[in-house]
A and B are shown apart, each in its own frame.
Chain A
């Protein structure tokens, strides 16, 4: 699979501001491709599965990097590297959930270049889709993963709709748990979208993972002060400690009063096409003490409604145990 020749040709643009980038993206439409760190994009091009005519490199845009404290909380430029987020003292002190999640992505080299925006917007890892098969997500009319022989160990438990791919991001569940807001700009202006609504499942659009359409640029991510300094828990289970995408990950923000859970947001990644907010768990735990009975009840409820494929049954106990740990050990 691994070819070591050149990627197919594309025209490369290096705009110096967002307006210019959007103009280029509008000009090329579906044939344009916005690239940030490139850690996901270049692999698509090398495999010849995605063949954009024009690649618009956003890295030269000065306003899109950096971490700023604002009156409402924190604003992080979409092009800020994952290493910078993992090592930032403000994020470590007040929003350590995000720092931990960013520090668990891929490998040190990839975190040095890979961006927060890219980690959120990256495409799914379903290998049938990524190897260029004409599946539903690629515009075809078959799912190769959801078949008797399909290798679907990494695929979804919830909300499958023809496609069974999952969200591969580690930072996305953390951002949903922190109730972050995505700032998206296009030629019509700037709009803000709650992290929870930013990710979309195959029932909404089977060919996209986020609400971003051609011409949209994710410019920054806002994190409200609401959860600053809360009790956090993040855990990622993957085959290897480095590189691998999560089999299941969990991100929780909990406000405790003694041992009583005053408020909680808990989000599970890699079990559905979007980071799955576990509102059932939240409702069970909110207002209760963190005793064994509550935790067992919450863990059992977390996987309610799961529909397994041939090889991913293990994700149910894995998910339940991660929920248990998140509430108990946070």
Chain B
């Protein structure tokens, strides 16, 4: 049981980071940015390059996150502000096109073979009978910390109040003197940083490949939609639900339910489970589990 919770948490935190970024940008500019999952791969790739250039992993990770945040803002100003004038569906297709360009860049720079961070290998720690490695513990801790910091920014600072005001009613927000463009770009920067951190977290625990971002696309969207697109903390809950569904499919023995001793669902269906969950939820609650509008500023 403890192992199950640990597995779910390890999977959920990185998903949550990217999904929160997606959701909070959506709350401001009303389109789901598909390219965000590619920012995650970019973060991992940059961190890997910086580490190979001789920087310690922590420094490399921080630099990569900041760089990806800047890339996200630049792309938002150059590409998405223009596309959004033609409508949110156009902007979404544009973000898809952009993510294909990212794939092409990854193929040429990183190559098709997966890569790993240079980390020393330690025996796994024991925690209440569950096994987890030192790197997993560190990366889960850092990601969880980042989520908490983001929540504090959103609910305890002036910037967060401006963000929530812009999300609720951007016309009214700019009438009261909030620079909505600046607020939007700040959130885009934060979303880039969180996506990069999520990508680095994923590749520290596994490996970095050009496919990393695209493989995360549907789970991240599933998490964000489950939580109600635009609701940042709902996305975190959605990520836990998705991670639990995926882990359940692969790790739980369904045998006793059907009178057989061992019955596992094939591991290939782990991803299918989260997509199916998404479709079912959308059928029952078309706008996700939680109402997406921020009620109180």
Chains A and B bind each other: no
Chain A contact residues, CB within 8 Å of chain B: none
